[in-house]
C-alpha cells in the first residue's frame, strides 16, 4: 500500500522533481490556514488536490504561483528556490477559480496576453492561439468580450489563456466547475490528453470526485490545511488512511468495534437472507451483522439498499447489481457479509 505508482505508464521514465514545498505554513492574520505542509510534485505529473471548501487548496496554488508568500517554508520550482520570486518571473500559469478575465480585451486578446508578455513571435502567437481556441471550442467567440459570454464560455477562456503559454506547471483551480456534463467530459479528456501528450505538470483542484479519480496520477486529500492522504487514485479509493478520506471520497460504511473502525465500501457489502439452507451458507463468509432493509433506491446500474443494523440505530448502504441473485425490498431481514480482503482499518 505504501508503494506509490504515481505515474502509471511512465514508470521507466526517471521521475524528476518539478515542485517541492518544504515546511510550508500560511497564516492570514491570526488564522493558521496551513499548519505545516510538505509536498513534492514530479515532472509530467497530474496531481489533484481534493478537499472540502476552505481547506486551503486555492491558498496552496496561489503560493506556488507566487501570488501569496508562505509565512514560513520554501518553494522550489525545477530545483530553484522561488519562494520570494514574483509571479511574473515564474514559469507557472494559473486558471483562476474566478476566471479573472480582462474585461477590456476580446477573447483572443486575453489569450494572447501571456504570449505578448513573453515576446513570442507574432506568427507563433497566431498559431498557438488558434490551437487553444480550437481545443476549447471558442473559435466563434474570438472577438467577443468576456462580459458578453456565459459562465462556462468564460471559464474556457480562462483555461485557454493559461494553457497557451505551455508553462512548466499549470495550476488549475476548479477549471471545469461551470461547464455542463458533456462539455466537462470532453474537456477532461482533452486536458488529460494534452497533459500526457506534452508531458505538462498539472496541479488540479476539483470538487468532482469522479474527475479526480479518472484524471489524476496522484491525489492529495487535504483537510484544514493538512494532507490526510497522498496516493494514487486506486489506493485513495480502496485503501483510505483515515475516516475523513473514506467519508470524503465515495460512499463508505463504518463498522465500529472496541478500538478500531472498519471501513467497507457499499459495493463490497453482500447481502443474504437471514435464514439460509446449509448449502448456501457454505458459499460465503458468515454474516457479521444482521438488519432490516429500510429502503431500496433504483440508481440505473445498481440498487442502493439501505439497511438498519440490529441493536443500533446505524444505517448502512450496499450496492446490488441486477445480475445479483435477488432484488431486495423494504422490511426484509438480511445478513451482511464481506470478504476480509475488502476491510480497511482506520484509526482516526
Ligand X SMILES: Nc1ncnc2c1ncn2[C@@H]1O[C@H](COP(=O)(O)OP(=O)(O)OP(=O)(O)O)[C@@H](O)[C@H]1O
**Residues that bind ligand X in the complex, under the rule CB under 6 A:** 28, 31, 33, 51, 53-59, 97
CB-CB contact of 194 with 135 (8 Å): yes
Find residue 316's DSSP bridge partners. 307
**Interface with Mg ion, residue 252, by CB under 5 A:** no
x/- mask, other proteins, residues 162-191, rule CB under 8 A, reads x--x--------------------------
Cβ within 8 Å of residue 165, ≥6 positions away? 93, 114, 115, 118
| Residue 249 lies near other proteins (rule: CB under 8 A) | no
Q: Which of 148, 150, 214, 315 binds other proteins (CB under 8 A)?
A: 148
Stretch that binds other proteins, among 28-36, 82-90, 173-181, 267-275 (CB under 8 A): 82-90
Q: x/- contact string, 110-129, with other proteins (CB under 8 A)? A: ---xx--xx-----------
Q: Which does 93 bind (CB under 5 to 8 A by kind): other proteins, Mg ion, ligand X, none?
A: other proteins
Choose among other proteins, Mg ion, ligand X, none what residue 283 binds, the Cβ cut-off being 5 to 8 Å by kind.
Answer: none
Smallest distance from Mg ion to CB 333, Å = 47
Partner that binds at residue 148, options other proteins, ligand X, Mg ion, none, CB closer than 5 to 8 Å by kind: other proteins
Cβ atoms within 10 Å of 150's Cβ, excluding its own? 11
Closer residue to other proteins in complex, CB, 165/206: 165
**Is 7 or 169 the residue whose CB approaches other proteins more closely?**
169
Based on CB atoms, which residue is closest to other proteins, 145 or 284? 145
Among ligand X, other proteins, Mg ion, none, the one that 28 touches (CB under a kind-dependent 5 to 8 A) is ligand X
Cβ-count burial 252-272 (b if 16+ within 10 Å, e if not): bbebeeeeebbbbbbebbbbb
Q: How far is the CB of 155 from other proteins (least distance, A)?
A: 14
**Binder to Mg ion among 58, 83, 229, 252 (CB under 5 A)?**
58
- Residue closer to ligand X by CB (options 57, 156) is 57
Q: Which of 72, 84, 131, 143 forms a contact with other proteins (CB under 8 A)? A: 143
48 binds Mg ion (CB under 5 A): no
Task: Sort strands 201-205 and 46-50 into parallel, antiparallel or unpaired.
Answer: parallel
Number of residues that bind other proteins (CB under 8 A): 29
Chain residues in the site for other proteins (CB under 8 A): 65-67, 86-88, 92-94, 96, 98, 100-104, 106, 113-114, 117-118, 140, 143-145, 148, 161-162, 165
Chain residues in the site for Mg ion (CB under 5 A): 58, 97
Amino acid at each position: 500500500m505504501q508503494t506509490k505508482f504515481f505515474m502509471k505508464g511512465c514508470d521507466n521514465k526517471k521521475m524528476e522533481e518539478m515542485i517541492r514545498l518544504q515546511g510550508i505554513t500560511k497564516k492570514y492574520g491570526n488564522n493558521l490556514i496551513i499548519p505545516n505542509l510538505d509536498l513534492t510534485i514530479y515532472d509530467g505529473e497530474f496531481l489533484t488536490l481534493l478537499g472540502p471548501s476552505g481547506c486551503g487548496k486555492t491558498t496552496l496554488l496561489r503560493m506556488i504561483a507566487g501570488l501569496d508568500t508562505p509565512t514560513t517554508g520554501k518553494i522550489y520550482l525545477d530545483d530553484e528556490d522561488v519562494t520570494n520570486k514574483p509571479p511574473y518571473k515564474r514559469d507557472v500559469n494559473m486558471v483562476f477559480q474566478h476566471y479573472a478575465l480582462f474585461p477590456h480585451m476580446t477573447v483572443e486578446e486575453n489569450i494572447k496576453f501571456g504570449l505578448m508578455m513573453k515576446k513570442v513571435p507574432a506568427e507563433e502567437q497566431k498559431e498557438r492561439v488558434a490551437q487553444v481556441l480550437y481545443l476549447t471550442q471558442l473559435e466563434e467567440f474570438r472577438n467577443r468580450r468576456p462580459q458578453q459570454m456565459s459562465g462556462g464560455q468564460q471559464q474556457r477562456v480562462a483555461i485557454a489563456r493559461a494553457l497557451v503559454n505551455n508553462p512548466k506547471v499549470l495550476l488549475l483551480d476548479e477549471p471545469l466547475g461551470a461547464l455542463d456534463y458533456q462539455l466537462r467530459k470532453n474537456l477532461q479528456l482533452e486536458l488529460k490528453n494534452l497533459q500526457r501528450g506534452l508531458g505538462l505538470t498539472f496541479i488540479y483542484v476539483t470538487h468532482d470526485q469522479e474527475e479526480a479519480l479518472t484524471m489524476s496520477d496522484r491525489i492529495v486529500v487535504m483537510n484544514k490545511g493538512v494532507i490526510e492522504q497522498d496516493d494514487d487514485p486506486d489506493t485513495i479509493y480502496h485503501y483510505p488512511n483515515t475516516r475523513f478520506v473514506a467519508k470524503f471520497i465515495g460512499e463508505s460504511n463504518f463498522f465500529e468495534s472496541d478500538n478500531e473502525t472498519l471501513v467497507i465500501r457499499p459495493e463490497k457489502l453482500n447481502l443474504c437472507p437471514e435464514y439460509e439452507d446449509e448449502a448456501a451458507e457454505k458459499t460465503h463468509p458468515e454474516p457479521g451483522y444482521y438488519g432490516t432493509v429500510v429502503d431500496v433506491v433504483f440508481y440505473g446500474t445498481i440498487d442502493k439498499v439501505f439497511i438498519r443494523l440490529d441493536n443500533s440505530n446505524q444505517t448502512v448502504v450496499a450496492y446490488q447489481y441486477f445480475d445479483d441473485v435477488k432484488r431486495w425490498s423494504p422490511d426484509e431481514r438480511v445478513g451482511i457479509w464481506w470478504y476480509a480482503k475488502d476491510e480497511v482499518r482506520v484509526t482516526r
